[in-house]
Amino acid sequence: MSEHIKRGTLALVGSGEYLPLMEPVDRLLLDRVGGGPRVVCLPTAAGNEDAESVAKWSRMGVEHFTRLGAKVESVEVIDRKTADDDTFAERIRAANFVYLSGGLPAYLYKSLADTKAWAAITGVLEDGGVVAGCSAGAMIFGSHTFTFPTLWPLRPVFNVLPGVVMLHYDEIGKNLRRLIKFAVGRRTLVGVEGNTALVCNDSTYTVVGTGGVTVWNDARQSRHTNGETVSLS
């Protein structure tokens, strides 16, 4: 586990960001923030889509966390230029809760790698805050990810969870899951279902939400549900 999440909390969400079913999960995460939550929502993973899509994710995030009583703003980091913008990075640094919504994991990684925005995001974790990523926003925290629509080759990402490949799991069939595990090789495949988060802090991994988390090591699979602690080794 990265040193970052020994101090802060990392939440890896399958799908359902900003929807009512995620409110119990997000309330739990908001409660982990001391001194009052200051949330920033980053639509970066959808940055290669049109302006309407970026605006939609930004609006949904602000509306969702406002309903939950948090102070929230959207910071429209959508490419490498905006990810290296000093003003945007400062707005992220001023938060104690960062939410990365879904889109394309490879685009998200390419946009954030070695930028001021990524340094600000990891700084929130180092300071004991919360970082949540949904779908693509979760997948970039493993060691590798897929370049959709193909599965191969796997692309390196931030390696916050070494040896782990993250995947939104419940919308793919059994045969495709087996193909994905073959592509993953000896790495650990962690599949998070919709409306569910794998919450990571201080070497502990806990399932929160209405679905489950499947951990697939070599030929062994185990599924875990709300409140259960998960081993990724």
C-alpha torsion sign, points 101, 104, 110, 111? negative
pLDDT > 70: what percent of the chain? 96
What is the model's pLDDT at position 63?
Answer: 98
CA 178/CA 218 separation, integer angstroms = 11
Tally Cβ neighbours within 10 Å of residue 70: 18
DSSP assignment of 35-91 equals TS-EEEEE-GGGTTS-HHHHHHHHHHHHHHHHHTT-EEEE----SHHHHT-HHHHHH
What is the model's pLDDT at position 2?
Answer: 58
What is the model's pLDDT at position 181?
Answer: 82
What is the model's pLDDT at position 35?
Answer: 81
> What's the whole-number mean pLDDT along residues 208-225?
92
Q: What is the pLDDT of residues 159-202, one digit of tens each?
A: 999 999 988 877 777 777 787 888 888 899 999 999 999 999 98
Task: Mark out the alpha helices in 68-200 (DSSP H runs).
Answer: 80-83, 86-93, 105-112, 116-126, 136-139, 174-184
Q: Is the pLDDT of residue 1 over 50?
A: no
> What's the whole-number mean pLDDT along residues 65-84?
98
Domains within the chain, CATH numbers bracketed: 4-230 (3.40.50.880)
The token duo for 141 is 């925290």
Q: Is the pLDDT of residue 4 over 80?
A: no
